[in-house]
Structure 1
Amino acid sequence: MVRNRFEQVDELQPDAINLTLVQKSDGQVGIIHCPKTASPTLPADLTSEEMPIRDAVSGAIELANSKKIAIVVIDGDNIWKKEWGDLWRYDEGED
């Protein structure tokens, strides 16, 4: 079975579903943000409430599949688990 691959970024991207993972004092949460610029069918930018991290990951995947939009992950706290898929970072290389 092919594993899902997700690009790690440092800031919100206008052309993708943005999944932000955050470590809080009482646990880990996820936030899903889908800008209107990522899908012309959206009436406005959509941002979820904080939710349990597993729900955020599965919710972002469901939204991405239904809207046919890529997902990017903002994970400044290094929360990502390998069981969710492969997290990679774009490397522009040296000039």
Structure 2
Amino acid sequence: MAAGKPVISTKLKEVSKIIKIFNCGLIANNWDEFKECIRTLYYNRNLAMELGRNGRQAAENTFNYEVIAKEFLNKLIKILESGEKSEKYR
């Protein structure tokens, strides 16, 4: 995805979910479908470029370590600033 190339995957639960959400590749259920996915991307360069662009955008905007770390840090700060204590430590 980060390389800007379309992804071809089997029906792995999380991987296929990401491919569907970000429209960044094709999903194959078996070897024949996998071969067909390769042919589709080879002969339909516009589709391949679109899927690749979508994957690149997802990698930059969603799966970027800096973005993830910043979101996590902001959530921690919000929890700490709320002043609420855990039920366990009250």
TM-score, normalising length from structure 1? 0.29
- Per residue, is there more strand in 1 or in 2? 1
Flag the structure with more relative contact order, 1 or 2, with Cα contacts below 8 A and sequence separation at least 6.
1
In terms of Rg, which structure is larger?
2
